[in-house]
Amino acid sequence: MIVGKGEKIHVMYRALYEKSIRRHFLGEVKLSEGPVCRLEGFVFVYDDKKTEFIRKPEKRVTVIDISDDGFITNIIDPDVIIENVDYKYEPDVGLIATDNKGFSLNINEFGAKS
């Protein structure tokens, strides 16, 4: 088993072509069988017009094979309350996921930005 029930993960979907929708998922593992996980959490979608990631307000349940090469997966601190996590830009760092209470995950896709 790669991850277990109750673990929290951040998943970035790799863009397969230039105009691919850039999506991320932040959630808790509700069930896993090998690398296949049922997750409950939030989708973040890149808005080209606002040039930022927007968290969709509703919680979703999704199934992801985290071993697939189309995903980049990070295990996050189990104490993080995923409802409190949002994205923001930090000078000289770039895009981060943070709860503004100590949790911070650098999730730059193209290196640091100022």
Domain for residue 54, yes or no? yes
Query: In angstroms, rounded to a whole number, what is the distance separating the alpha carbons of residues 72 and 69?
Result: 8
Residue 83's φ and ψ, nearest 5 degrees, are -65, -20
Burial, 48: exposed, middle or buried (Cβ in 10 Å; 0-12, 13-18, 19+)? exposed
Query: In angstroms, rounded to a whole number, what is the distance separating the alpha carbons of residues 78 and 10?
Result: 12
Higher pLDDT, 5 or 94: 5
Query: In angstroms, rounded to a whole number, what is the distance separating the alpha carbons of residues 99 and 32?
Result: 26
Q: If pLDDT is split at 50, 70 and 90, which confidence band does 79 have? A: very high
Domain that holds residue 37: 8-106
Domain for residue 51, yes or no? yes
For the record, the structure tokens of 6 come out as 């109750």
Domain for residue 114, yes or no? no
Domain for residue 58, yes or no? yes
Per residue in 36-51, pLDDT (tens digit) is 999 999 999 998 888 8
Q: How many domains does the chain have?
A: 1
Query: In angstroms, rounded to a whole number, what is the distance separating the alpha carbons of residues 83 and 81?
Result: 6
Domain for residue 3, yes or no? no
Domain for residue 98, yes or no? yes
Domain for residue 16, yes or no? yes
Domain for residue 1, yes or no? no
66-92 mean pLDDT: 91
What does pTM read for this prediction?
Answer: 0.87
